[in-house]
A and B are shown apart, each in its own frame.
Chain A
Amino acid sequence: MALPALTPQYVLGLAALLVLVVDAFTPTSRKNGLLAGLTALAGVTSAGAAAWLYAGGAGRTTLFDGALAVDASTSFFTAVFGCVAALVAVASYDYVREEPHQSAYYALVLLATAGMSVMAAANSLVTAFLALELVSLPAYALVAYLKRDAGSAEAGLKYFVVGALSSAILVYGISLVYAATGVFGFAALADAVAGNAHVTVLGAGVVMLIGGFAFKTASVPFHFWAPEAYEGAPAPVSAFLSSASKAAGFVLAFRVFLLAFPLAAFEALGIPWTLVFAVLAVVTMTLGNVAAATQTNVKRMLAYSSIGHAGYALIGLAALSGPTSSDVAVVGASFSHLFVYGFTNTGAFLVVALAERWGVGRTFEDYAGLARSAPVASAVLAVLLFSLAGLPVGGGFWTKYALFLGAVQSGLWWLAAVGVVNSALSLFYYSRLVKAVWVDAPDETGVARERPTGIYAAVVVAAVVTVALLVAPDVVFSWADAAARALVSA
């Protein structure tokens, strides 16, 4: 059966509308379960449709006069977004049960996911910007969802202010690029930049574009919103933003820079953008990990560690060197890193959501001895954190290895070295949390903990997928390779 190329996007958008319709006709008591189920179903269906489209192997399809283009990277990332959205929806079932306006929450999650999957299909700077705003606006509202909670409201406002500024910079960058080239489409841009006469304008525009993407991926120096927003937002929303939204920023950056701004043409113009990404990668991973090292608040530690992970993924853009095979390898490594990270990081934040639901507290000390009362969740947390650190307990081991190898192979051994040092540092602060949970003695013993089904299911699935990707990485990695090839040799 040949599905329309945009099926996953349609599913997500229509599901968002359907959520609002269902809300109008369902009694309040059963609403939460129904809406959460619908959202999770939409996420899984769109991921499944994406996998189906990839398996169909249609190659590249352009739509709407070249405004959108669907290829293997679109389906790959759409699958990531769908899976993360489903995990977040399942976990939210327990998290927002007592809150008002549940339909708005689920609809916003779906709309943002739809926006991300459009970002993954963007083929012109205009659609790219529109899709990015479709992600950002629901995200601001989601962060401020607990609006009676001062932290949540403050975080939403800060996120909005920084986001608005970043959007302005992005739009300004787009206008500069347009001024230099006169076109928006990626393919047309690739032709127009070669030998362009307005190098300064174009260069400034490209740096501002990088700034806009750095905001979405929470890379330095556009990262300031991240710790605040993740800390204040409801934990499932933090999981959603730090995994899916970040991956969306990356797929857009990869599409723009691989499809519209060919490296060879830019090196001829004297704008070596790989260097900018290399600098950003080093600064981002170092700042993220160093700042994470002394946090006392668990959620904030995870927020900074997620900034650090953006630094690792940036290696995929920094270590491009020209030969197709090595470029495919390093971009594919970055893609698979984002895939594994999508599950692992979501899972880690959802464990925090679980702890918030139990009223455990926010600091490392509050987590002491959690393993005594919640062994399953604590085991899951340990697996997820060690996989984030790159130990061979989860798929994160392979992807980090592939990223560093890619950096070394394209001559950026110093980048790989910085990455390794940072990984070692990250092991330090992840271990601190694992130690608190498993080794330290709890304040009070014999606490009976409820087991919220939704969050439990979500974290266990996240951990199982993480471990499965260590054992059988091939399924995902071959897809990531195909996705990378679709962009590198387009």
Chain B
Amino acid sequence: MADVTTAVTAIPLVPFAAFLVALLVGHYKPAALPKGGALAGIAATAVSLALSVWAFLTVGAGGATLSRVWTWVPAANDSFALTFGVLVDPLSALMVVIVSGVSLLVHVFSLGYMNDEGEGGLPRYYAGLGLFTASMLAFALASNLLQAFVFFELVGFCSWWLIGHWFREPGPASAAKKAFLVTRFGDYFLLVGLVGVLGTFGTAAFAGDASFPALAHAALEGEASVNTFGVDPATWFTTLGLLILGGVIGKSAQFPLQTWLPDAMEGPTPVSALIHAATMVAAGVYLVARLYGFYALTPTVLTVIALVGGFTALFAATMALVKREIKQVLAYSTISQYGYIMLGLGSGGYVAGVFHLLTHATFKALLFLGAGAVIIAMHHDEDMWKMGGLKERMPTVYWAFLSGSLALAGIVPFAGFWSKDAVLHHALTVGLGGQPLVLLAYLMGLVAVAFTGFYTFRMVFLTFHGEPRSETARDAGPASANMRVPVAILGVLAAVVGLVNVDPLKGVVGEHLLFLERWLNGPLPGLAGPTAEHYHELVVDVAGFHTVAVSPTVSAVVSLVVALAGVALAWTWYNVPEPSEKTDVLGPTKTLLYNNYYQDEFQTWLATGVVEPLADAVDVFDASVVDGVVNGVSSTSLVASDRLRRVQTGVVTTYTTQLVLGLVVLLLIVLLLGGWF
């Protein structure tokens, strides 16, 4: 299937070419670059989208492919090779469609958000978008963990680039650095985990009989032996899984490494849409899904994933309750929603997790682009208390935004309802099946549903309903077409995309209409392992996650009622002409929430109060002991070096003498060692 490989390899390469065009032409001949590189980016992502859809259809026709594109370091000396390749299976095919689709819409939207507003540095901006898209696509198609790590890092780099687009202002510059450093902290664990995987299995491949998940399974079954460095295999695999999870928690902004994400709102809003819906943040959970064959072997790690997910979902939702700025609400909702995806994956619900990843990509891209349109109309004032009444002034955006909000809040039949319910239902069945910690995570997720409904509609009512609360809001006009069209497309999608897996209606419509489940179960000729069915078997047989039958309809009704309760409260408080800050009833708790539980302060204290004294102590040791040794070596070297210069006198007769003496010494050494004297 060489043609498939070539075409799929082109999926990330085309946006990469757009990146080069924007960067080089933008630098040397900016006048020759139409729209600052936007058109090249739009064309490239459109080609990528077309190729991705084609790859998607090819996989649907049974054409899953695993191929090696490039051998970086060949295997030699009984060691392993480091390679780059493409893995096209249902998961990656779905992901590249999401990424290239969202990226295309973000590019179009940027025409309105960046070009029409006369922002500077456009070639730099579009070059960043191109590289970002290319890295994420290459990450999604990666055939092994090393390649995934390389592009994971590139994704992190690109978000630094784009969040800091307005780098001359202190806020964006600092936010970019924070995003880079916090995610890098998690990535250290991933890097150690990657080295551990290579050292243990001699391969980092994701799929196939010789992949490391397959080897790990065989090792647990006692059918293969791997180098676990003397540790019990199950314990060792758990350690590796947790290390890799470090990178996931950083990128997907899960507790306790979520603090970078709200700050990242300093970047241009289309970038936020891209980061939150399809690239940076999605990369973390995508890695879990990609490695599911490995995680499914380790019940402890699965439980950790579920707990972190459930806790983050609740924790972030509480902070979203009291935010004033529209993008801040969305930022915390992203953290919270990725918590749900983690909860789904951690409780063994691979399909549910991927489903929520899909729907969230749709409605979160929509909400950010909608918020972007509002922010433009408000001349970059993001405070919701100064908005109001925008419903009549920008109707398209309003209706689309409403669709996305209903999806986010999980109201039937919008996208988020189906996927969030699938996650919660799965967590419930596993929790009742003898996993109390998963049940705890479920309860946290359920409470968060009410909060989600509340903060989502608080945002909708404050922004669009009631009377305008400022001059700017009164004068706001409709968004331009290049912003309206992407928002409208996503608005429709957010309403319908959930229908691909209507789990609660299984009994009514029949199993054949659960498209996503069938898709992920799909037959994979020639690729042992990565199907949802296989994962489910692993979760049950190896991890021992058993389920109790609970009707999906009951669970769906419960979460819908909880969500509606939250929406109803928001309705009564904020859907009035002159809303006031009702969350003041929380008293000091509100201040706590508004300041994000003082986590930034806590982390700063960790840095200055704990790490810095420790570093000082280490520095003392370093300066006195280590440097002493090093300085000793170097001063010895330098003195010796000086002596050596004197040996090199420049007098050729000295050289010949020394040369002959050297030869004699060599002769003596050999003759003595040879025992001839």
Quick check: is B218 within 8 A (CB to CB) of the other chain?
no
Q: Among the listed stretches A140-148, A222-230, A311-319, A361-369, which one makes contact with chain B, having 4 or more residues with CB under 8 Å of it?
A: A222-230
Within the complex, what minimum Cβ distance (angstroms) separates A476 from chain B? 11
Cβ contact of B650, chosen from A207, A228, A326, A421, cutoff 8 A:
A228
Decide if B652 touches A293 in the complex (CB within 8 Å). Answer: no
- Cβ contacts under 8 Å, B652 to chain A: 157-158, 161-162
Say whether B655 contacts A225, CB under 8 Å. yes
A287 at the binding interface (Cβ < 8 Å)? yes
User: Does A21 make an interface contact (CB < 8 A)?
Assistant: no
Q: Please, which residues of chain B bring their CB within 8 A of the CB of A326? A: 77
By a CB distance below 8 angstroms, the chain A residues around B656 are: 161-162, 165
- Do B71 and A291 touch across chains, with their CB atoms under 8 A apart? no
Enumerate chain A residues within 8 angstroms of B642, measured Cβ to Cβ: 294
Q: Are B637 and A220 in contact (CB under 8 A)?
A: no
A207–B660 Cα gap in the complex (Å)? 12
9-residue interface stretch from A54-62, A197-205, A437-445: A197-205
The closest CB in chain A to the CB of B674 belongs to A270
How many contacting A-B pairs (Cβ < 8 A)?
Answer: 109
Alpha-carbon distance A220/B667, docked complex (angstroms): 14
Complex alpha-carbon distance, A162 and B670, angstroms: 23
Chain B 409-427 interface 0/1 with A at a Cβ cutoff of 8 Å (1 = within): 0000000000000000000
A165 touches B659 (CB 8 A): yes
Confirm or deny: B638 has a beta carbon within 8 angstroms of a beta carbon on chain A.
yes
B146 CB, min distance to chain A CBs, angstroms: 15
B676 CB-CB contact with A under 8 Å: yes
Q: Give the interface size bracket for A toward B.
A: 35 or more
> Known: A271-B670, A293-B638. Is A220-B655 also a contact (CB below 8 A)?
no
Within the complex, what minimum Cβ distance (angstroms) separates A372 from chain B?
A: 19
CB distance from A161 to the nearest CB of B (A): 5
Q: In angstroms, how far is the closest chain B Cβ from the Cβ of A253?
A: 14
Shortest Cβ gap from B327 to chain A (Å): 40
Please, which residues of chain B bring their CB within 8 A of the CB of A428?
634
Q: What CA separation (Å) do A211 and B661 show in the bound complex?
A: 12
Contact A294-B650, Cβ < 8 Å, known A165-B659, A272-B673, A329-B76: no
Distance in angstroms from B633 CB to nearest chain A CB is 8
Verify if B613 is at the interface (C-beta below 8 Å from A). Answer: no
- Given A162-B652, A270-B674, A474-B74 in contact, is the A276-B644 Cβ separation under 8 Å? no
Task: Provide the main secondary structure of the chain A interface.
Answer: helix
Quick one: closest A residue to B653, CB to CB?
A161
- Cross-interface CB contact of B77 among A222, A290, A409, A425, cutoff 8 Å: A409
Partner among A224, A294, A477 whose Cβ is within 8 Å of the Cβ of B638: A294
CA distance A228 to B656 in the complex (A): 14
List residues of chain A with CB within 8 A of the CB of B655. Answer: 158, 161-162, 224-225
Taking A158-B652, A207-B667, A293-B638 as contacts, is the C-beta distance between A477 and B74 under 8 angstroms? Answer: yes
Chain A nearest Cβ from B198, distance in angstroms? 15
Q: Does A478 contact B (CB under 8 A)?
A: yes
Known contacts A203-B676, A210-B666, A222-B659; A291/B76 CB under 8 A: no
Residues of B within 8 Å of A273, CB to CB, are 670
CA distance A474 to B640 in the complex (A): 40
Whether the pair B76, A481 counts as a contact (CB closer than 8 A) is yes
Does B658 make an interface contact (CB < 8 A)? Answer: yes
Which residues of chain B (626-669) have a CB below 8 Å from chain A? 633-634, 637-638, 640-642, 644-645, 648, 650, 652, 655-656, 658-663, 665-667, 669
Q: How far is A421 from B633 in the complex, measured between Cα atoms in Å?
A: 10
Partner of B667, one of A204, A224, A275, A481: A204
Do the beta carbons of A290 and B662 come within 8 Å of each other? Answer: no
How near does chain B come to A409, taking the closest CB pair, in angstroms?
Answer: 7
In the complex, A471 Cα to B73 Cα: how many Å?
Answer: 8
Asked if B671 and A290 make an inter-chain contact with CB atoms under 8 angstroms apart, the answer reads no
- Tell me the minimal C-beta distance from A143 to chain B in angstroms: 13
Interface: A123 (CB within 8 A): no
- Interface residues as binary, B180-192 with A (CB distance below 8 Å gives 1, 0 otherwise): 0000000000000
Give the one of A199, A279, A294, A405 with max B CB within 10 A.
A294
A:247-291 near B, CB below 8 Å: 269-273, 275-276, 279, 287, 290-291
Interface residues of A in 184-243 (CB under 8 A from B): 199-200, 203-204, 206-208, 210-211, 220-222, 224-225, 227-228
Q: At the interface, yes or no: B588 with Cβ under 8 Å from chain A?
A: no
Question: Which of B74, B663, B673 makes the CB contact (< 8 A) with A169?
Answer: B663
- Whether the Cβ atoms of B634 and A270 lie closer than 8 Å is no
Q: Given A224-B655, A405-B77, A478-B74, answer yes or no on A293-B641 (Cβ-Cβ < 8 Å).
A: yes
- How far is it, in angstroms, between the C-alpha of A207 and the C-alpha of B663 when the chains are bound? 8
B222 contacts partner chain A, Cβ-Cβ < 8 Å:
no
Q: How far is the CA of A216 from the CA of B266 in the complex (A)?
A: 63
Q: How many angstroms from the CA of A47 to the CA of B655 in the assembled complex?
A: 36
Asked if A33 lies at the interface with its beta carbon under 8 angstroms from chain B, I say: no
A157-B652, A211-B663, A290-B644 known; A203+B671 contact, CB < 8 A: yes
Confirm or deny: B675 has a beta carbon within 8 angstroms of a beta carbon on chain A: yes
Proximity bits, B231-268, A CB within 8 Å = 1, else 0: 00000000000000000000000000000000000000
B658 and A224 within 8 A (CB)? yes
Residues of A within 8 Å of B648, CB to CB, are 224, 227-228, 291
A13 at interface by CB-CB < 8 Å = no
Contact status B641-A221, CB under 8 Å: no
Output the nearest chain B residue to A473 by Cβ-Cβ distance: B73
Chain B CB within 8 A of A32 CB: no
User: Nearest Cβ in chain B — how far from A205, in angstroms?
Assistant: 10
Question: Which of A203, A220, A290 lies in contact with B670, CB distance below 8 A?
Answer: A203
Q: Does A102 contact B (CB under 8 A)?
A: no
Interface residues of A in 315-373 (CB under 8 A from B): 325-326, 329
Quote the shortest CB–CB distance from A255 to chain B (angstroms): 21
User: Judging by beta carbons under 8 Å apart, are A222 and B644 in contact?
Assistant: no
Interface flag for A166 (CB, 8 Å):
yes
With a CB–CB cut-off of 8 A, which chain A residues contact B658?
221, 224
Question: Known: A158-B652, A211-B666, A224-B659. Contact between A477 and B676, CB under 8 A?
Answer: no
Q: Is A199 touching B663 in the complex (CB atoms < 8 A)?
A: no
B644 / chain A contacts, CB cutoff of 8 Å:
287, 290-291
User: Contact mask A131-165 → B, CB, 8 Å, 1/0?
Assistant: 00000000000000000000000000110011001
Q: How distant is A415 from chain B, measured CB to nearest CB, in Å?
A: 16
Are A207 and B666 in contact, with the CB atoms below 8 A? yes
Most chain A Cβ neighbours within 10 Å, of B658, B663, B673: B663
Q: What residues of A have a CB within 8 angstroms of the CB of B660 in the complex?
A: 165
**Assembly CA distance A471 to B650 (angstroms):** 42
Rounded to whole Å, the gap between the CB of A342 and the closest CB of chain B is 21
Q: With A158-B655, A165-B659, A474-B74 known to touch, is A291 a contact of B645 (CB < 8 Å)?
A: yes
Q: Could you tell me the distance between the alpha carbons of A233 and B650 in the complex, rounded to whole angstroms?
A: 15
How distant is the Cα of A291 from the Cα of B76 in the complex, in angstroms?
35
- Minimum distance in angstroms from A470 CB to a CB of chain B: 10
Which residues on B sit within 8 Å (CB–CB) of A329?
76-77
Residues of A within 8 A of B638 (CB): 293-294
**CB neighbours of A477 from chain B (8 A):** 74, 76
| B contact set with A: CB distance below 8 Å | 71-74, 76-77, 633-634, 637-638, 640-642, 644-645, 648, 650, 652, 655-656, 658-663, 665-667, 669-671, 673-676
Q: Known contacts A200-B671, A211-B666; can you find 17 more A-B pairs with CB under 8 A? A: A161-B656, A169-B663, A207-B666, A224-B659, A225-B655, A275-B670, A279-B669, A290-B637, A290-B640, A291-B645, A293-B641, A294-B642, A398-B73, A421-B633, A425-B637, A472-B72, A481-B76
Residues of A near any B CB (own CB < 8 A): 157-158, 161-162, 165-166, 169, 199-200, 203-204, 206-208, 210-211, 220-222, 224-225, 227-228, 269-273, 275-276, 279, 287, 290-295, 325-326, 329, 398, 405, 409, 421, 425, 428, 471-474, 477-478, 481
Give the 9 A-B CB pairs with smallest separation, nearest first: A221-B662, A224-B655, A294-B641, A270-B674, A291-B644, A158-B652, A293-B641, A290-B641, A474-B74
User: Can you list 14 A-B contacts (CB < 8 A)?
Assistant: A162-B659, A207-B663, A210-B666, A221-B666, A270-B676, A279-B669, A287-B644, A291-B648, A295-B645, A421-B633, A474-B74, A477-B74, A477-B76, A481-B76
